[in-house]
Chains A and B, each alone.
Chain A
């Protein structure tokens, strides 16, 4: 059983998926920022669970993890945050978390808590397909999606990954860690085509997207675009006053992913 809320995120035209690190700069501010991003038109919110050693993150999100940990963000507090947001909004919510905090919480307790608070899915960057089952057996019981990732190096693995994927497929745009890139040069079309031939679930592209033009181009290839570092950078720049900036930027990005083909030529 897959989350119906995640499916809905992709029913409002191309989806814009917005990331922020939970608890950066404070838990209360994160909650406010989530409402601002919803107001800006985000279709799905990805909340990063801060971790001491985020090996898939670039410097911007590394620093956000540090700020959040210093402000006292923990997994239990982020579950409380999700519960509060859920009382006010039906927006799909997923965690981006490294495996160890989940493992320490306990898989059974973790996914039960996800269901209780209304968290729809989890992205775990250090849990590849080969290792997923130890967590997925509990996730399935609770109807929580463990989102599968596809990377530029996944050509030989796409079929297997897509077959068992639930929620949406997270396509990593390029090699490397998270962070805004000047250009995204990976030829993603063949990979996306293969994924779609195997799985009917939506596909979203993330990593490196920082401008409306990039978001637009990625949304032409997929069902949605995921943006993290560009939003987190706004939090870093504006601190507690980032809310209005986030809303404006999300609105701009949502318009870009929703827009027609005409602006795509600028970025290819």
Chain B
């Protein structure tokens, strides 16, 4: 079996044209990941530019409303650019520069990864091109303009379902055409090795901080940590340093769209099966002929038919649990958090809030739960209004 495996999952299932470049990336990452200069530069950017460490906030009113364990929110929404995506983007952008690249390309769903990538490109003087499904450019008009303000070119993708999966296809096609000066800054713990490893490592700062913070605040580990899962980058970041802590439940919240029993969902663990796509062996929503299914979620960032290979392995090994959350539950949780805590979170993150509302009352008061608030929800306000039938002019 080849490199980059989590059990049977992972691997490097990509065209021959990209293999040399993927190996160059592996070598560069192996060289720089423990390099003191590289890490000093990254740490400085994370602290002074992105605003790390992010707060671990005790959500007292939410705790009181749910009547169970204490709820802590890991506030990745307060990072510069408004989500956890910046953690990985700064790391990979620095790596790309070390590799001598002058251009970065990336896919985006909701636009959070695209905005973070365009931001890093502006800061680090890299050319930037973002691929985004046409449907997502319409759902997230403001993020498109934000990326353009930052100097990036945004390419709407008209192939397939015109969402995140197709944006990944198109970014891969662009990379196959041009690798010499171009790094594909992949945004989640997916794709061919070494991306799942690199993205997880750069996102693991979330649980590194959260673990220290909760021990300081509570003197003991939480009963559970929760995060939403599309490809799974904020969840891997939130889980990673808790994996050895067998008493901490790791819970990923998948997008169930209109319901796992309907065709309109993106719940890969609930409905997917083993397959090989986008460079990795993992679970995918697909039909019995191996055609990738057109998935759906109100959340553009979770609207993806696969899941990162390490999540697939955490699921199969029983270490992590994955639960489906519907659009309706996520929207209700979005409103709940706004009204109880005065925090407008991303609709992606609201999937984790929704499951917390079910889970927390079942966990005793002396315990705590950490919920990763992966992003802020400004980008979603118009869509939520539409969902509720309210007319707003952006």
Contacts and interface: CB of A to CB of B under 8 A. Distances in A.
- Chains A and B belong together in one complex: yes
Interface of A: 51-53, 55-56, 58, 62, 69, 74-75, 99-105, 125-131, 134, 149-157, 161, 172, 175-177
A151 B17 contact: yes
28 contacts: A53-B277, A55-B169, A56-B15, A69-B291, A75-B289, A99-B13, A99-B276, A100-B275, A101-B289, A104-B273, A104-B275, A105-B290, A125-B16, A126-B13, A128-B15, A128-B16, A152-B17, A153-B16, A153-B19, A153-B21, A154-B17, A156-B20, A157-B20, A172-B16, A175-B178, A176-B17, A176-B173, A177-B177
Interface in B2-19: 2-3, 11-19
Given A128-B12, A154-B20, A52 B291 contact: yes
B238 to A, nearest CB: 29
B146 to A, nearest CB: 28
B292 A154 contact: no
A73 B278 CA distance: 22
A170 to B, nearest CB: 9
List the 6 shortest-distance A-B pairs measured between CB atoms, nearest first.
A104-B290, A176-B177, A101-B290, A151-B17, A153-B20, A100-B290
Contact of A151 (B11, B12, B16, B278): B16
Contacts of B83: none
Interface in B160-196: 160, 165-166, 169, 172-173, 176-179
B37 interface: no
Nearest to A58: B173
Contacts of A55: 15, 169, 172-173, 176, 278
B15 A151 contact: yes
Given A103-B275, A130-B12, A151-B15, A51 B291 contact: yes
Most buried by A among B3, B17, B277: B17
Nearest to A161: B16
Contacts of B20: 151, 153-157
B67 interface: no
Q: Find the residue from A51, A53, A58, A172 having the highest chain B CB count within 10 A.
A: A53
A69 to B, nearest CB: 7
Given A130-B2, A131-B2, A157-B19, A177 B176 contact: yes
A38 to B, nearest CB: 28
A103 B290 contact: yes
Given A53-B165, A62-B159, A131-B11, A101 B16 contact: no
A62 B170 CA distance: 11
A131 B11 CA distance: 8
B288 interface: yes
B19 A130 contact: yes
Given A103-B274, A149-B16, 9 more contacts: A52-B160, A53-B169, A99-B276, A100-B291, A100-B292, A128-B13, A130-B12, A151-B15, A175-B17
Contacts of A130: 2-3, 12, 19
- Interface centre among A74, A128, A152, A154, by most B CB within 10 Å? A128
A74 B17 contact: no
Contact of B291 (A101, A103, A126, A127): A101
Contact of B288 (A62, A102, A104, A154): A104
Contacts of A125: 15-16
Contacts of B286: 100, 104
A153 B179 contact: yes
Contacts of B173: 55-56, 58, 176-177
Contacts of A157: 16, 19-20
A150 B15 CA distance: 10
A177 B178 CA distance: 11
A216 to B, nearest CB: 24
B259 interface: no
Interface string B279-314: 100001010111110000000000000000000000
B19 A154 contact: yes
Contacts of A51: 290-291
A103 B290 CA distance: 8
A156 B20 CA distance: 8
Nearest to A100: B290
B8 to A, nearest CB: 10
A69 B290 CA distance: 12
B289 A104 contact: yes
A59 B391 CA distance: 38
Residue of A130, A151, A172, A175 most packed against chain B (CB within 10 A): A130
Nearest to A127: B13
A135 B159 CA distance: 29
Contacts of A52: 160, 291-292
A149 B169 CA distance: 20
A51 B284 CA distance: 14
A114 B14 CA distance: 23
Given A55-B172, A176-B176, A100 B17 contact: no
Contacts of A127: 13
A100 B179 contact: no
A125 B289 CA distance: 18
Contacts of A129: 16, 19
B30 to A, nearest CB: 17
A140 to B, nearest CB: 18
A149 B19 CA distance: 11
Nearest to A124: B13
B177 A175 contact: yes
Contacts of A175: 17, 176-179
Contact of B15 (A62, A105, A126, A155): A126
Contacts of A56: 15, 173, 176
> Among B3, B16, B18, which residue has the most Cβ atoms of chain A within 10 A?
B16
Contact of B276 (A75, A105, A126): A126
Given A69-B291, A131-B2, A175-B178, A153 B17 contact: yes
Contacts of A172: 16-17
